[in-house]
Amino acid sequence: MKKFWILIKFEWLNFRADKGLLILTILTLFAGLYGIYYGTTEINRQQENIAALDVLTEQNIEELKAKYPNGTDAGDIGYYHTTFAVNHPDSWASLSLGQRDVNPYYIKLRLLNLQSQLYDTENINPLKVLSGNFDLAFVLVYLFPLLIIGLCFNILSVEKEQGTLPLLLSQPIGLPLIVGAKLTFRMMLVLGMALLLSVVAMVWGQVSPDMRVAFWLSVVVLYCLFWFGVAFVVAALQKNSAFNAITMLGVWLLLTIIIPALLNVYIAVKQPMPQALELTIKQREVVHGGWDKPKRETMDKFFALYPQWTDTTEIQGRFAWRWYYAFHHLGDVAVADLALDYQEGLQARHQLVEQLNVWSVPVNVQTIFNAMAGSDLPSYVSFLQSATQYHDSLREFYYPFLFNQVNFTNADYVNEPRHSFTSSPDFATVHAGLYKLALSVLLVFAVGMLLFRRIKASVK
Amino acid sequence: MEYILEAKQLRKEYQDKVALKGLDLQISAGEIFCLLGQNGAGKSTTINLFLGFIQPSSGAAYINGYEVASNVTQVKEYLAYIPENVMLYPNLTGMENLALFSSLAGFDYSKEELMHYLVQAGLPADAVSRRVGGYSKGMRQKVGIAIAVAKHAKVLLLDEPTSGLDPKASNEFSELLLNLSQQGTAIFMATHDIFRSKEVGTRIGIMREGELVDVQPAANLNANELENLYLNYMHVAR
């Protein structure tokens, strides 16, 4: 054991003197710190925007109170009053932004038809989406493997190429001890950095100190071990440094880019789903068609759904808010199946990703991180469902005013429902992902051990 | 009699070539055995078999009574090795390199002791704290010698150890070998240098095509006779 630590000590001296490796390590460390800064800043920005929505809502109410000091038809309020469905970030979201930059984290809602509002979101800068999030999860999943490759590609081959292996092996130590010490030193360095960055991110992001601390750190350790396992397998082949570097970069390219791209194509083919645009167009056609249909026909359809309002007065004249909101709602009803298909399609695609990510450890780890941070697709779908329920509650709030033809007064605003949704972690996905990750680590080290024993050591 | 270094019918075959044909050899404590032979004669194969770097096809090599093949790590406690071209960690200083190999051998020397071994091996005092990456081949060779001496091994395996040394350093190295021999170290030196062999050797062996064809006490021959004997064997080989 003493010799093991002697080797570790001299690995440190060698590392300290190697400017290339030092620069690579420091760059990765700074990338991690920037990732933490980026994630925290993005979530702070989203929280500030969400906080501003409350102010906007209050301003809107004050404007309406000034405009209608004696109250008005609830239809006016439903049309001009804006409220928001808000997806508050989980405290862990800054560590793994996931889809929070692609999917909206708030939806502006009025009493009008829901579906067109659900998908009527702000434009996204496509270049920003292309480059992706530079959060800590990105650094850990995509950049840390490159650091491990840089540190480990020549772990054994360098001893042969610089000719030090014969002298080293003439000491009373074996090749397994040498490789073990070299790997251990690099593991200590990389894991130390990865865990330090994770702890800094947790403190900086003020995450809730629950069991996810242990899950996150376990995933980080296992993921780094997986890449060390890859390095071990490649070292066990006992090829030259150039071969090792190309092989390891090839594995990185395969697992982080090629397989995810292929999975994406496969999932799109295997799980086709209606587009939100198609849904919106159909819904618009129904809603706009409502203007031209006989009012009686529209109202009969509506009353069939809401018989409690059947006894309310007849629609008279060219326009009535009750009729207007009725045909807006019928627009939603007309695409209800399509909307359900869309959301179920999103869920099904995500489930397919969870099944297939066994083929790409980085994709699996990214899935775990997103599930832990509540920034994955299922969380977004839950938010859409929550927004739908909120819209239902708005209708239930306004319908008595509309159909009983009761004036909406300034005193009624306080009773209007408000929405709040906070993304929550998906521990089932975390558990399943951890299990797969642990198996990947065991598998890769088992292959490495097998190769290491089968291929006879050569000092040349 | 207990031999420190011994080979019994030691044979090494590669796919299409027999590198060593049943070597029998015994070397006692304090003896310097010089092995002469052309390139490819089997000298380095013999050393690699004693080091456990390669496995014998048949027969066995023994160091201090332990069979090398089945006690690879243990036998290395008793031996030191200087290759033809000593390669060290270029980012470490000469002293750090010596400290590494000495500590792996079980010796934790102070800086003063490390300095002593390096200077004794002929390395300039001002070079010991410089990175080895800037050393000449001769300087690296001297660090290699210091590593071997500092190990206080019972057996010293040398593969063309004076390659790259200037005549003065070679002469100092010869004196060092004689000194170690007097302290009881068994030395096995593979070399092309007939005159150095005659100068330091107790016995001189001649290897040809994997076979030890002759062994002579160094005292029985003068340098010219040794050269003629060697050339005769090599002539037969051609």
Interface check A172 vs B, CB under 8 A: yes
B233 & B161 share domain: yes
Q: Domain range holding B142? A: 90-152
In a domain, B44, yes or no: yes
Tens-digit pLDDT profile for residues B34-45: 999 888 889 999
The whole-number pLDDT of residue B84 equals 87
In a domain, B24, yes or no: yes
* Mean pLDDT (whole number) for A277-289: 79
Contact B140, B87 (CB under 8 A): yes
Residues of B with CB under 8 A from a CB of A: 48, 51, 53, 55, 72-74, 76-77, 79-81, 83, 85-92, 96, 100-101, 103-106, 131, 144, 147, 157
Neighbouring residues of A372: CB distance < 8 A, sequence distance ≥ 6: A92, A95, A96, A212, A215, A216, A219, A425, A426, A430
Q: Give the closest residue to A457 by CA, choosing from A156, A104, A123, A47.
A: A156
B124 & B194 share domain: no
B63 & B159 share domain: yes
Contact A310, A303 (CB under 8 A): yes
The CATH number for B35's domain is 3.40.50.300
The whole-number pLDDT of residue A25 equals 96
B66 & B112 share domain: no
**What does the block give as tokens for B143?**
């660090």
**What does the block give as tokens for A95?**
């560590």
Q: Which stretches within A374-426 are classed as H helix? A: 377-403
Given the structure tokens 């709602």, which residue do they identify? A329
Q: Which stretches within chain B are classed as H helix? A: 43-51, 72-75, 94-104, 111-120, 137-150, 167-182, 194-200, 223-237
Q: Look over chain A and give the mean of its residue pLDDT values, rounded to a whole number.
A: 90
B1 pLDDT more than 60: no
In a domain, B202, yes or no: yes
Considering B152, B169, B198, which residue would you say is the last residue of a domain? B152
Question: Nearest by CB to A172, which of B76, B96, B157?
Answer: B76
In a domain, B85, yes or no: no
Q: Give the closest residue to A139 by CA, choosing from A21, A230, A29.
A: A29
Virtual torsion, Cα A364, A368, A373, A378, nearest 10 deg: 80
Interface check A170 vs B, CB under 8 A: yes
Confidence of residue B103 (pLDDT cuts 50, 70, 90): very high
**How far apart, in whole angstroms, are the C-alpha atoms of residue A132 and residue A47?**
20
Q: Which of B12, B74, B104 best probes binding to A when mutated, by most A CB atoms within 10 angstroms?
A: B104
Give the residues across from A408 on adjacent strands: A72
CB contacts, 8 Å: B73 with chain A: 172-174
B56 & B68 share domain: yes
Considering B103, B118, B152, which residue would you say is the last residue of a domain? B152
Structural domains counted in chain B: 2
Instruction: Tally C-beta pairs within 8 A across A and B.
Output: 72
**How far apart, in whole angstroms, are the C-alpha atoms of residue A384 and residue A332?**
14
Tens-digit pLDDT profile for residues A105-143: 999 999 988 888 887 765 666 666 666 689 999 999 999
CB contacts, 8 Å: A164 with chain B: 87-89
- At A349, the amino acid letter reads R
Tens-digit pLDDT profile for residues B166-209: 888 788 888 888 988 998 999 999 988 888 888 899 999 999 88
B148 & B160 share domain: no
CB contacts, 8 Å: A10 with chain B: 89, 92, 96, 100
B107 & B69 share domain: no
State ipTM: 0.90
Confidence of residue A457 (pLDDT cuts 50, 70, 90): low
B165 & B63 share domain: yes
Tens-digit pLDDT profile for residues A297-313: 888 888 888 888 886 76
Provide, rounded to the nearest whole percent, the portion of chain A with pLDDT above 90: 65
**How far apart, in whole angstroms, are the C-alpha atoms of residue A424 and residue A392?**
22
Beta strands in A360-430 (DSSP E): 407-408, 421-422
Q: How many residues does chain B have?
A: 238
In a domain, B84, yes or no: no
Give the other-Cβ count within 10 Å of A102's Cβ: 14
Measure the CA angle with vertex A41, ends A36 and A45; round to 5°. 155
Q: Which residue of B has its CA nearest to A161?
A: B87
CB contacts, 8 Å: B87 with chain A: 162-164, 166-167
Contact A419, A84 (CB under 8 A): yes
Considering B135, B152, B169, which residue would you say is the last residue of a domain? B152
Q: What are phi and psi of B76, to 5 degrees?
A: -70, -10
Residue A171 and residue B105: Cβ atoms within 8 Å? yes
Query: Strands B155-159 and B186-191: what pairing?
Result: parallel
- At B183, the amino acid letter reads Q
Tens-digit pLDDT profile for residues A390-419: 999 999 999 999 888 899 999 999 999 999
**How far apart, in whole angstroms, are the C-alpha atoms of residue A168 and residue A154?**
16
CB contacts, 8 Å: A21 with chain B: none
